Structure 1
Amino acid sequence: MSAQDSEVTGVYRPPTEVSAGTVLQRRYRLLERLGVGGMGEAWKAADSGRLVDGQPAQVVIKLLPPELRRNDEANEDIRREYSRVWLLSHPHICKLFDMGEEDGIGCFQVMQYLPGITLRQWMRRHSEGISASAIVSVLSAAASALDYAHGVRKPVVHRDVKPENIMLDPQTGDVHVIDFGLAAEIRNSQTRLSGAETVIAGTASYMSPEQWQGRPASAACDQWALGIVAWELLTGTRPFQGNGMALGFAVCQAALPVLPEPYAFLQDLFARVLCKEPAGRFRTCGDFVSQMQFLLQGTSTDATLIGAQAAVTPSRSIRPEILIAPFSAETARMAQTAWARYLGCEVHWRDEFGQDLRLIPPGEYVMGSDETAEQLQLAGFVLPHSGWREWIAAESPGHTVRITRPFYLGVSSATRAHFAAFVRATGYRTDAEAIGKGGWGYAIETKNGVQRSDFNWKQTGFAQSEQDPVVNVTWKDAQAYLKWLNELTAESGSAVRYRLPREAEWEYACRAGTTSRFFTGDQTGSLRGFANVQDVSFGVVFPSHDQKKWQGFSFDDGSPFTSSAGLYSSNPFGLCDMLGNVWDWCNDYFDAGYFGRSPVEDPRGPSSGDSHVLRGGSWASGPVHLRCSSRDYYGPGHRSYAVGFRVVADLTQAEKV
């Protein structure tokens, strides 16, 4: 008597084999076998215990492979995995409804029936090519599902992300990730049954190095696998080839192959998502896909991708989107790459004068700060006297600013070597040299800072290398240097033009997508390793300096005076010493009330004034002056051993920017 006959007699006999019409647990009637393979069988079934429009709901039954159905460990694996996965509820995760068990066929899982096809089938149907937007859509849905599973109270790692475990409905575009943990547990059981020493969970071609090495699976394993899927969608092949341990060796040891030429601009993206060490990958799967989407904005969106001979080519006719703060360091770097590709230039450019500059992409952010002096004091900042309240008030209101055009900004402030070349070529004398009072420097006899006639950009009273920033230069001195640069570039036929940064450009570049007090965070200690500031070493050379009144930093940055360009770590745009080392002159006149009437797009500051803006703080500055929003100002003839400047180079592709 068959299982279906038992419904007539009322006597239920558990089935020992399955076929169309078999009923499991008096509830699930098998209708059609959807697939069979090493991971078992999948059946479409009718669930009499769950009705839709008065009819038994359609579900999918997943059965163990025949050789594991009576294996106690294999059945326990499935029970354990069910207890971890069944609570997952996400629009892009196939819902697991129930788990059943029959003596003859072991444990089985009951899950949501999804009309459609697997990503593998979809790829085969579209061998003529897949649009970039379609690829991103699929990957975005899968990433959303995986990140959700990784983020629940008891994180769930899929461990077998591959095209066969991603379902698509061609009619609706719906995407679902299926078989969370199921295939991996079955493969574990098969490995143990075979007597192998190492238990491997995952499909070989999509396994991460740590899976091959037998290390615990983590969310980074799923990210690696999604990266392999993305590579395959773009190129039609997988990056690492081979069988068995040869494949494992390639995954763990071989360098990442070079992407086909049309996708060369994605090489850095894949180098990160397919980093051998999990810690080197993106924070989440979603971060990876969002960066890929950003980079693909600059391609022909209606182009098709055909295997390794992708027909899509970067298109400079499509302008990348501007950044909107807050954005991550990864987004900052990817935006620089996208804009460089669009403009046909480099992210990092060393000009003919030996100056290193970084491409700063357009973006929108909140400039300034609404923090009051009282709030800063409550947060631990020291304001030495009441006049500082006016400086703090000049940072408000926080207001939206949109930088609409990309520009190059010096990686560091102009160095002594750069300025010396200018002086040798022109015979220029700085204000500190031409005016009797001189500049500022360090008097070793008093261990203090003084203004003296012999102090200038060449002589500061403390040792400076040629790569240290030039100091004791006035706003007028900086303009003379820029005028020389522009005259030389004009003579050579170059359209590059140099200038000082506008205040809005400076703060945007300094923040680099962050919204905290410092680009490293809100706490003063976060600047350690990123800035040369008034620190412990400063206190040694200025022993009479009142560190309580003029609050310093509690760490030792190793530089009592100025430091060489690039000594400290850069911000997300790749700029060094935006905070600390030396103040940077800005082009703008200063007006304490300007932020209240500033235009949103590309503000240039007041039309007139007596003083110019200084930004960034210096080696002699405490925490309150090192905040991204902090402003200072002096007349155009002011010079100091803590003041320098950095250059902007305007892009010349006017028709593009």
Structure 2
Amino acid sequence: MKFWLLFFTFFLGSGNHSTAHGGEAIEGMVFFPPGEFMMGSDNVTGKDDEHPKRPVYLDGFYLDQYEVSGKDFEIYLEKYSNEHPTITGWYGRKVKPDMADSPVFGLTWERCQNYCLRNGKRLPTEAEWERAASGLEERLYPWGNEEPSPEHANFGKCCFIMRGSILSPVDGYEAGKTPEGVYNLAGNIAEWVYDWYDRNYYKDSPYKNPRGPESGEFHVIRGGAWNSLPVYLRNASRYGYDDAKDYYGIGCRCALSGTTKVNNE
């Protein structure tokens, strides 16, 4: 029953769960207008599951400017007593001060989806995530085509997170944000998206608003993490992981459907 409720909410975008209806600008979110972009990698670059590179059309949508932070999740825990803190970074149900501005991590796909839905949003589709990262100019990385450096992203580090110092604030790495203003799509933590993972999905995926296979074993993860090699920071990089585990390096950001940008002008 829970699956069908989430399925219905996501695909119809009814009520407050996933669709923006006129009004003031949406604070903390970036709007991407409807249109076509190129998704995936060509046959020279990228892994097999990124092929073929092809045009994809998306309806307009909003994406969170920042990853969900420790402070964001603390507020969520205050509202929902049946939810529990993640694997580390907490004093009871209060986030540790050095983790408050860092992305919350150790979340299953289901917990990320629930967080977004309960905040009137949803998880982005894999196509929406890549559209936000690549733009219309087919950027290799969120910031452009320059190879990753310590100025662009938090990556290439070691070991388990015991303190917030290994993670960066969700509004960190100004040089690594997209031209549209989305931060940390590469590095820091990897991010769950809505879709089930299928390495061959791109070969038969629909042109308009692809949402992944109807079922699968794993959900898709995007963006790389603090301990990732540079290859995983590419916008087209994709992989699947067992979403029944609270994996250390995974968190999320949320999306919202909206064909027309809303503003307060």
TM-score, structure 1 as length reference: 0.33
1:631 to 223, 238, 243: 238
Q: Does the CA-based 8 Å contact 1:457-1:473 persist in structure 2? A: no
Offset, 1:484: 2.3
Aligned to 1:469: 103
Match of 2:173 among 551, 561, 568: 568
Shift of residue 344, structure 1, vs aligned partner: 6.5
Residue in structure 2 matching 1:651, options 243, 247, 258: 258
Who is 1:458 aligned against? 90
CA 1:363–1:457 in 2, change beyond 3 Å: closer, same or farther?
Answer: farther
1:359 corresponds in structure 2 to 31
Shift, 1:523, TM fit: 4.2
Q: Compute the displacement of 1:480 (Å).
A: 2.1
Residues 345, 530 of structure 1: alpha-carbon distance in 2 compared, 3 angstrom cutoff: farther
Counterpart-to-counterpart distance in 2, 1:580 and 1:425: 29
User: Is the 1:589–1:605 Cα contact (8 Å) retained in structure 2?
Assistant: yes
In structure 2, relative to structure 1, the CA distance for the partners of 1:629 and 1:560 (3 Å cut) is farther
Match of 1:402 among 39, 57, 68: 57
Aligned counterparts of 2:69 and 2:166: Cα–Cα separation in 1: 15
- How big is the shift at 1:601? 1.0
Report the CA distance between 1:504 and its aligned residue: 0.3
Q: Secondary structure at the match of 2:119?
A: helix
1:560 deviates by 6.1
Shift of the 415–610 alpha-carbon distance from structure 1 to 2, 3 Å rule, reads same
Residue equivalent to 1:113:
none
Q: Structure 1 587/622 Cα, relative in aligned 2: closer, same or farther at 3 Å?
A: same
CA-to-aligned-CA distance 1:576-632 (integer Å, 9 cap, x gap): 001111111100111111000111111111111111101011111111100010001
**Residue of structure 2 in register with 1:424 after alignment:** 78
The match for 2:142 among 511, 519, 527 is 519
Mapping for residues 373-388 of structure 1, pairs under 5 Å: none
Give the aligned residue type for 1:524: E
Q: Is the CA contact 1:366–1:399 (under 8 Å) kept in the aligned structure 2?
A: yes
Q: Which has the larger radius of gyration?
A: 1
Question: Where does 1:426-575 land on structure 2 (aligned, <5 Å)?
Answer: 426-430=80-84, 455-456=87-88, 458=90, 464-486=98-120, 498-525=121-148, 527-534=149-156, 538=157, 561-569=166-174, 570-575=177-182
Instruction: Encode CA deviations 1:263-312: one digit per residue, 9 max, x unaligned.
Output: xxxxxxxxxxxxxxxxxxxxxxxxxxxxxxxxxxxxxxxxxxxxxxxxxx
1:19-418 equivalences in 2 (<5 Å): 345-346=24-25, 349-350=26-27, 356-372=28-44, 392-403=47-58, 405-418=59-72
Q: CA–CA distance in 2 between the matches of 1:344 and 1:479?
A: 25
Are 2:191 and 2:222, in contact at CA under 8 Å, matched by a contact in 1?
yes
Instruction: Find the aligned partners of 2:75 and 2:242 in 1 and give their Cα distance.
Output: 26
Do the aligned residues in 2 keep the contact of 1:422 with 1:428 (CA within 8 Å)? Answer: no
Residue 364 of structure 1 aligns to a residue whose secondary structure is: strand
Alpha-carbon separation, structure 2, partners of 1:612 and 1:516:
24
**Is this contact kept in 2: 1:409–1:649, CA < 8 A?**
yes
Maintained 8 Å contact 1:411/1:574: yes
Question: What is the identity percentage for the equivalent residue pairs of Structure 1 and Structure 2?
Answer: 31
CA change 1:424–1:483 in 2 (3 A) is same
C-alpha deviation, 1:652, in angstroms: 7.9
* Alpha-carbon separation, structure 2, partners of 1:475 and 1:649: 17
Partner residue in 2 for 1:135? none
Contact 1:476 1:636 in 2 (8 A): yes
Rounded to whole Å, the distance in 1 between the matches of 2:244 and 2:97 is 24
Counterparts of 2:57 and 2:260, CA distance in 1: 20
Whole-Å separation in 1 of the counterparts to 2:53 and 2:152: 25
Q: Which residue of 2 aligns with 1:596?
A: 203
8 Å Cα contact 2:123-2:253 kept in structure 1:
yes
- Offset at 1:345? 5.0
Letter in 2 for 1:506: W
Q: Is the 8 A contact 2:133 2:139 kept in 1?
A: no
Deviations 1:352-381 (A, max 9, x none): xxxx11112223111010245xx67xxxxx
Query: Aligned AA for 1:401?
Result: V
How many Å separate the matches in 1 of 2:173 and 2:89? Answer: 23
* Structure 1 spans left out of the alignment, 5+ residues: 1-342, 351-355, 377-391, 434-438, 440-454, 487-497, 543-558
**CA distance in 2: counterparts of 1:345 and 1:368, whole angstroms:** 34
Per-residue CA deviation, residues 373-432 of structure 1 (Å, 9 max, x unaligned), is: xx67xxxxxxxxxxxxxxx110111111011x22111001111111111111111334xx
Q: Describe the SS at the equivalent of 1:587.
A: strand
CA distance in 2, matches of 1:394, 1:457: 34
Name the counterpart of 1:616. 223
* CA deviation profile, 1:57-78 (whole Å, cap 9, x unmatched): xxxxxxxxxxxxxxxxxxxxxx
CA–CA distance in 2 between the matches of 1:630 and 1:485?
28
Query: 3-state SS of the aligned residue for 1:633?
Result: strand
- The answer to whether the Cα contact below 8 Å between 2:70 and 2:102 also exists between their aligned partners in 1 is yes
Q: Take 1:345 and 1:513, find their aligned partners in 2: how far apart are those partners?
A: 26
Gaps of 5+ in 2: 1-21
Query: Using the alignment, how far apart are the partners of 1:513 and 1:599 within structure 2?
Result: 19
- 2:220, 2:137 → 1: CA distance? 22
Q: Secondary structure at the match of 2:79?
A: helix
Q: Which has the higher helix share?
A: 1
Question: What is the number of equivalent residue pairs in this alignment?
Answer: 232
SS in structure 1 at match of 2:112: helix
TM-score (norm 2): 0.78
Distance 2:118 2:193 in 1: 18
Quote the Cα distance in structure 1 between the aligned partners of 2:184 and 2:103.
Answer: 10
SS in 2 for 1:478: helix
- Specify which structure has the bigger relative contact order, considering alpha-carbon pairs within 8 angstroms and separated by 6 or more residues: 2
